[in-house]
Every structure is written in C-alpha cells, then in structure tokens.
Amino acid sequence: MTAILEFYKCEKCGNIVMVTHTSDGELICCGQLMSLLEEQTADPATQKHVPLVRKTATGIMVTVGSTPHPMEKRHYIQWISVKKDRSFYIHALRPGEAPEAEFPINDPDVKALEFCNVHGLWTNRK
C-alpha cells in the first residue's frame, strides 16, 4: 500500500518517486519493489540534516542543518520540500549551491523535508 506524499526509492537504479494518490498498489522499478524512504528527524551528531524553517520578508526559508550540509558532487542535498495544508512545494538543488530554498508561504508552521543523496530523507516533524 502506498500513501499520498510518501517517497519511494529503487535500490537498483536510484529512481525516486513521490506518491500523489493513496492506493493498495505496490511500486516496482527495475523488476523489484521500491523501498519506502523513512523520514528521519534525529541527527544529534552534527545537526547537518534536519531542516530549519524561518520567516522571511516574502515567505519562508528552509535551511538544511544548523551546521550547513556539504554541497559537493558526491554528497549534497538534492531537493528541499515543504508541505502546508494540501499544498506541496519542492525545490531541486545542485552541487555548489547553498543547502537552502525559499518558498512563497506566509506561515512558518510547515512540515519541511530534504533529501541527501547519501543519508536519505529528513524532516523537521513527523
């Protein structure tokens, strides 16, 4: 069974998909079941992964980690997303860019997620 706004990864090719419809079906890629990406919240060693949300003049800024996360070719934040009510925003990042994204949302009370290509999916709340 899959649920809306879950993320699944193919362990063979690395494909990642976001579910936009809850169903009893299963997701298959490269001939095998895709793995649900678990949302992690605790990063006590360095706090490099948990997204932080703050208000800006035009919306909210989501920064990855109280200690900035690396943005190198082999290890970087691939995307940052925000869920607010029934809306979902996503911003793709590239190596060399800052591990942050601004979204046009007035209320900082949001669920933020980010995906590190090495350490997986992280959120500020479950």
Contacting positions for Fe ion (CB under 5 A)? 116, 118-119
- As measured in angstroms, the least distance from the Cβ of 105 to Fe ion is 25
Q: Which of 2, 40 has the CB closer to Fe ion?
A: 40
Q: Which of 18, 118 has the CB closer to Fe ion?
A: 118
Closest CA to 89 of 58, 50, 60, 47: 60
Listed as own residue / partner, the contacts of 92-98 with beta carbons closer than 8 Å and 24 or more positions apart are 95/71, 96/71, 97/71, 98/68, 98/71
Name the DSSP class of 1. -
Q: Which of 74, 86 has the CB closer to Fe ion?
A: 74
Distance CA 33, CA 40 (A): 21
Distance CA 122, CA 21 (A): 22
Residue with tokens 């095998």: 32
Task: Give me the residue whose beta carbon is nearest to Fe ion.
Answer: 116
Q: Which of 6, 114 has the CB closer to Fe ion?
A: 114
- As measured in angstroms, the least distance from the Cβ of 116 to Fe ion is 3
- As measured in angstroms, the least distance from the Cβ of 107 to Fe ion is 28
- As measured in angstroms, the least distance from the Cβ of 48 to Fe ion is 6
